[in-house]
Structures are given as structure tokens and as C-alpha cells.
Structure 1
Amino acid sequence: MTQATVAPAETFQLQPYTDQCRVIAEEGAHAIIGVSPGNSYFSARRLNDLARWAAVRFDQADFVYTDVHVADMYQALGYTPEHARQKAVKNVRGVRAKVSTACADADPGGNRLTWHPMSAFQGNAAYQRLHHEVVHAVETDPAVRETCDALTGIFLAGKLGTDGQPTDEQRQVCRDYVCAEVPLFIDTPAILGVPSSLNCYHQALPLADLLYARGYGLRASRNQGHGILTPAEGEVR
């Protein structure tokens, strides 16, 4: 992983994951920023800051918020089907409002920033192909399955606590949730038709070790990058 870089007066610190990711970041053609509903990190202020940062740093940026498998996740965590659906609708509606407002405020003309729900990609041929590859890899490649399970473990530990033991249903729902997001870490350029793209997230993920490893298997495309994006020192977190 390359060392972090911070441009003067930036509100965020971007740490490209590899040297090639750094090249993609410096090209500044496109960034994709994933937003999870119900995650307190993505406050209205944080999203406003992210939108302003992205509008300055990249030619284009897309914010993507998760709206698939959300109700299933709540139900697997113990909510009744009706309560799970209501909670999912409320959280997705809230994050959509925050993301759309942040993009409109930072880019009033709509020339640089765009936002999408994850479900919008389900009719995209490139996304469908990549999603199929991800699901197949989880089922057939032990390394991919182990990495996916590590991600689900991190997520469920935050929901169940360190002493909680996830059920098979909870693990499967988390796998479905993760698999829906992975195509955007593999080849956003193919999905959105951009020359190169940097997928930005605020935490290091086990997934990156796999996607940017040498050799064959489930790997990020040459023009797909990844960066850890965190508030710069002194910024409110």
C-alpha cells in the first residue's frame, strides 16, 4: 500500500492502495463513493464535504448508496418482516435525501457529480456480468469465499457484538449484500463508461488485498483503482 497524500487545504486524506491506484487517482478522471444506509459515518455534513471534495478533485464522481438486501439484513438481525421493511425504507430514503442534497449543493449544474441507488445497476449488462463472476467466485474459489466471509464477519461483529455468533442466514444475507457491491470495486469503468475510476472508502477492506494481488482469480481491472479516504487531520470526524 502506498503512503498517504494530502493536497493543501483538502478536507480529506486519500491513501491510494497501490502505485497503479495512485496513477488513477492523479489522473482524476472519475471517483466512485459508496454510501451505506444506517451508517453514522455518513452524516449530512460528511456527505456535503465528500461532494465538495470530489467535485474539485475529479472530472466526474458518482455517489452510490446501497438499497438492495437492506430489509433482508434487518430481518436476519431479528426484526419482523414488516419492521425490517419499514426500517429499510426509512434509512434508504434518508441516505438518498442526504446524497442528492450534497451533490446538488456541490455541483448545482449537475456537470460533475451524479448519484445512484445500487438497484439502478441491476439492468446494466456489465454490472450483471461482473456480479455473476463475483457470485461464482464466492462459490468456487476458497480464497474469495474466505475474503467474503471476513467482510461479513466485520459487518456482523458490529451488529451482534464480539460475543454474538452469526447464524447461517445472517452470513448468507451478508454475502448477498457484499456481492452486490463488489462489481464496483472490480470494474466501474466498464459499468459507467468512464476511462478510469477510483473507488473510495473510509476503511481498509480485506477485499482490496484480494483484488489487487498478483496472479489470476477475481481481480480489479487495470483502470480500476481503490483508495482509503478519511477526514484530514484536524477535521471533525
Structure 2
Amino acid sequence: MRTIAVTGSASGIGAAVRERLTSEGAKVLGVDVRGADIEADLSTPDGRFIAVGAISERCGGVLDGLVLCAGLGAHVEDFRAIASVNYFGAVDLLDDLRDVLAKGRDPAAVVVCSNSAQFGAFDEHPYVLALLDHDEDKAREIIAKEDGFTAYAGSKHALCRAVRRRAGEWGRAGIRLNGIAPGATDTPLLKGSVDHPVFGQGVEALDIPLGRWARPEEIAAVISFLLGPEASYVHGSIWYVDGGNDAAMRPDRF
């Protein structure tokens, strides 16, 4: 039986991943701020420390898989919390659990990013650079003066780059690492954005060639594949699972 830790497991994509992996026979260690096997607040360094310690203890020092789903949407009023949860709540767990993953059986990790990572000019944005420099205080200071979209999409942009930057080191350690970039997915996070007076119209106007939002179970299916043996040569990639939204917006980029 494989042991796989899943953050954000209480709702949305994380809950769908937990259910999918459990149905496939895995032992899932769910992590969320409440309603999970391990309750921890990933918006704080202390909460991340608690999560890493609890996961390491419950897996007996050997972890086969890690899925980082925990995140806050652009509608959340505390932009600083978006930075802390979406980026540091993922990257800190990635880095701090690498050694226990390296001891696992065919270990793999999947980071839930977003196709919105390419929705802005983020390559040299000071907020993104602070995230990538792992300067949480500076990133929080910068984003407090910005807006929810920049907080969310910028954090996901940095997260995609963090995955790519780690591909060499992780691959040589025998751990596959990939990111998944969902588009609009029918979750509480999306509902929060749809109901927002600023972001709602933008979400409704998204050009999605398949004509609908994703179901969380569809995202979970791809994550399950990326964790499994049939994806044994898939590493360092960002998988867009967005009904064609990114292709519609950027037809000449890939």
C-alpha cells in the first residue's frame, strides 16, 4: 500500500484527490486547516512545521507520494495569506519532505498550480521574484499593496517555476515532480471568485473551447496518473488541464 500525503484535502480538488487515491488502495494522509487527518494552518511557518512533522511521523519516515492542493483564491481579502498559503505552503512542504519521499517506492509529487500563471506579465514582477527568493516577508509586503488577481496568479506563476527549477535535483534523487495547471474547476474556491463583484464577470467570460468548467474528479484523475507507474518518465512538466482555455488565449505559445 502506497502512502500519499494530500494538502487541501477537505474540499475541492484536494478532496477529490483524496477520494480517488483512497479508492485505488492508497493510504492517504489528508492535511487541511480543519476537517483532515492532520490539521495545520499552512499560512504560517509554524503550521507548515506541524504539517511536515505530522506527515513524517504518520508515514514512518517513508512517503510514496505528495500532492499539494491547498490554496486560496483571488477573492480572498488578505492578499498576504494568498502568498503564504499558495506558494510557501507548497514549496516548504516540498523541500522539507523530500528526504522522506526519497525513501518511498517509486516516489512522485504533484503540485497544483493554475493556468492563470500565464495570465499576466509575471516573469520579472517583484512579487514573483520575492517568492522565488523565498523571502516571505518581502513577498507579503509587496502584495499587500497590489490586488487579489496578482496575489493569486503571481503565486501560481512562481509555483510553476519552482517545480521546473527543482526538476534536476529531484530527478537525480529519484523523485518525479510535476505540476498541474487546472483551469476553471467547480470548487468552493471558484465559487468564491464567481461571486466576487470584480472577478465574477471575468470567470464567466473565460474562453473554454470544451464549453464548461472542469469537475474536481477530472483533475484528480490526471493527478492520479502523474503519481502512478504509467507516468514513470514524466518529470519536470506542467500539465494544463483546462478544457483548452490556455490554447484559446495563447494559441501561438506552449
Same-fold call, TM cutoff 0.5: no
* Interval containing the TM-score (normalised by the shorter chain): 0.3 to 0.5
